[in-house]
A and B are shown apart, each in its own frame.
Chain A
Amino acid sequence: MITTKNLVRSFKDGARETRVLKGVDFVAKEGEFIAIMGRSGAGKSTFLYQIGLLDDPTSGEIIIDGQNTHTMSIAERTKFRLEKFGFVFQDYALLPEMSALENVALPLLMQNMSKKDAYKKSAEALKKVRLENRLNNLPSQLSGGEQQRVSIARAVAHEPKILFADEPTANLDNESSHTVMTIFQELHKNGQTIIMVTHEEEFARLAEKIVRMDDGKISADA
């Protein structure tokens, strides 16, 4: 489903060049739940943004569903993300002026779904994350755990092929973190491909496969 070949990402700061990814080769199959672990600065989030098509590699290849993403235009990448990916960010990344329902409905509306259908599907997605009573609440009226569940509902409402999660439990208390991970496990059971970056061993162990990164490379794949 996703293959990367010798993926390199470096950042320039004046004359100084910092290589964050140093030739990553990676494979994720359909339906897998992969946890990417590593110490801070190992390059795990940078790698996630690369395979999530949020950033361009310096060199190397990313092949998703047999399609080399290197040749895609910005608009094609945006379309690809809309139709095939779902994202869960560490800080929830909800739009503050929109209710939970509206936040979840937005990607569906962008896929040209009618407002009625989008709202119906969004309400179902929010029900799955046990937020059926919070549909019309703004993010500021929700707890951190609830906001993260809205974020998950938004990421999966349009049934994406791959769900990317960047440290989804980092800002949550223990109880909320477990709730989020339980939802991920349920999604995985239903066949959802999930690629999650985490630094918490306890949650990484809930994944089907753990990929460890160190100094911009994959050091272990188990």
Chain B
Amino acid sequence: MFSNIGLNTRIGFYLAIRQIRRSSLWTTGLIVFVMVLTFLNLVVVSGILVGLIQGSVEAARTQYTSDVILSTLSDKKYIENSPNIIGLLKSLPEVEKISPRFQEGANLEANYKTRKETDKPNITGSQIVGIDPGLEDAVTGLSKSVALGSYLAPGDYDQVLVGQYLLKQFVPIDSPGFAALENVNVGTKIRIIIGDITKEVTVKGILKSKVDEVTRNVYMTDSQLKNLIDRADGNVDQIVVKLKKDVDPVIVREILKQRGVNEFAKVQTYADAQPQFLKDIIATFSMLGNFFSSIGLVVSSITIFIVIFINAITRRKFIGILKGIGINGQAIEISYIFQSIFYALCGSIIGLALLYGFLSPFIAAHPIDFPFSDGILVAPLDGTLFRVGLLILSTVIAGYVPARMIVRKNTLDSILGRK
């Protein structure tokens, strides 16, 4: 059939191949370069924006909440029945390691020995976290956050790790509402005040991290905190659970709920434990990324439109000749669609190679240093392929429209170059 789309596609492909093969290498290279930039703009801009927050989420997961976190119910002082829950967790095949924690609100005081009667005490509020140093390190890698001094050892007594945001020299904020300890370094003695109990401890290490919970806490061994708060029944305040590789935290959360653990503790995956504002920021940044990507898409469409339009205009005479010798207009239009697809595919393939072969691993190895997170590049394959589809679709439309405009012109006018 003459009007057969298959035949027109075949001829369109034949024409397109020859036009691409014999077109200027520089021109083709430039168009493909624009397509690569467009692809990167589509994927990387939104990927970095989302990655800023995703980096923060990932850091909270690896350094604080781990995969699943069990915490005290809002109306309870601690997780009741903790020994049984810990036993259950240890028996689950999905679980790799757990770290039970004790927690207690406290005030920290520094410079009390040199303070005069008339001086204001140097006090700040904090959370004291009692940990088994070995278990905590195995689950959250806390030792890696020790920037100064050294990590806790299991038998340490009267030794603490202090988060950087509790210390004035690491917080360049001079605000009346913001209290921090002054002149505190590794080896400095500070006081921990829990209710009526005051305990003098030595700073063994200073923690630096981009996870707020780590940088605002004070860590000591669980055995000492248990004594300080007089908790001898084996109940803890928090249990963080590290799962085996590729285990979905949601599955474990549901298992724990089915076993009735939620009657004694709030059971959350790392994602559940994210503050709502983080989720909102991710959604907002994602939207912003899509907005910037859309602009990139429009720019690339206009580029392809101009390229194809100029190509078709300068080849108007030959388009007329093709029609004159009996080549169907649809076949000529399809040839331009194939050319557009070729440019978009080349740009996308080079972009994909750059993205997954270089950019993504490079940024994963060298995260972008933002004050609140180590920014990563979030580019899941399915989302990226969706964007490749969008790029191809927009270039096909941008290539088809000008080609159709020229092909529809009068055959003889085209051959003779008449307006």
Contact = CB atoms under 8 A, between A and B. Distances in A.
Interface of A: 49, 54-55, 74-75, 78-79, 81-83, 85, 87, 89, 93, 95-98, 102, 106-107, 109-110, 112, 138, 154-155
13 contacts: A54-B412, A78-B326, A78-B327, A78-B328, A78-B329, A79-B2, A89-B321, A93-B318, A93-B415, A97-B19, A107-B327, A110-B331, A154-B325
Given A75-B3, A109-B10, A112-B7, A98 B18 contact: yes
B264 to A, nearest CB: 76
A109 B14 contact: yes
Interface residues of B, number: 28
A18 to B, nearest CB: 13
A154 B327 CA distance: 13
Nearest to A93: B321
Interface string B306-338: 000000000001100111111111010000000
B298 interface: no
Given A54-B415, A79-B2, A95-B322, A106 B327 contact: yes
Contacts of B331: 110
Decide if the interface of chain A is mainly helix, strand, loop or mixed.
Answer: helix
Nearest to B14: A109
B11 A81 contact: no
A95 B328 contact: no
Interface in B390-419: 410-412, 415
B113 interface: no
Nearest to A84: B326
A75 B23 contact: no
Given A93-B415, A95-B318, A106 B2 contact: no
Contacts of A109: 10-11, 14
Contacts of A78: 323, 326-329
Nearest to A138: B22
Contacts of B2: 75, 79, 82
Contacts of A95: 18, 318, 321-322
Contacts of A74: 329
B245 interface: no
Contacts of B116: none
B18 A102 contact: yes
Given A54-B412, A78-B323, A112-B7, A96 B328 contact: no
A87 B4 CA distance: 24
Contacts of A102: 18
A2 B366 CA distance: 78
B76 interface: no
B21 interface: yes
A101 B321 CA distance: 17
A120 to B, nearest CB: 16
Contacts of A54: 324, 411-412, 415
A74 B324 CA distance: 11
A138 to B, nearest CB: 8
B324 A87 contact: yes
A110 B326 CA distance: 8
A55 B415 CA distance: 11
B318 A96 contact: yes
A154 B325 CA distance: 9
> Which of A74, A97, A107, A112 counts the most chain B CB atoms within 10 A?
A97
B313 to A, nearest CB: 16
A81 to B, nearest CB: 5
B325 A81 contact: yes
Given A81-B324, A110-B327, A155-B325, 10 more contacts: A54-B415, A55-B411, A82-B325, A93-B318, A93-B321, A93-B324, A97-B22, A102-B18, A106-B11, A106-B325
Nearest to B327: A110
Interface in B1-50: 2-4, 7, 10-11, 14, 18-19, 21-23
A83 B2 CA distance: 10
B412 A49 contact: yes
B331 to A, nearest CB: 7
A17 B14 CA distance: 42
A112 B3 CA distance: 11
Contacts of A75: 2-3, 328
Contacts of B317: 93
B168 to A, nearest CB: 73
B403 to A, nearest CB: 16
Contacts of B322: 95, 106
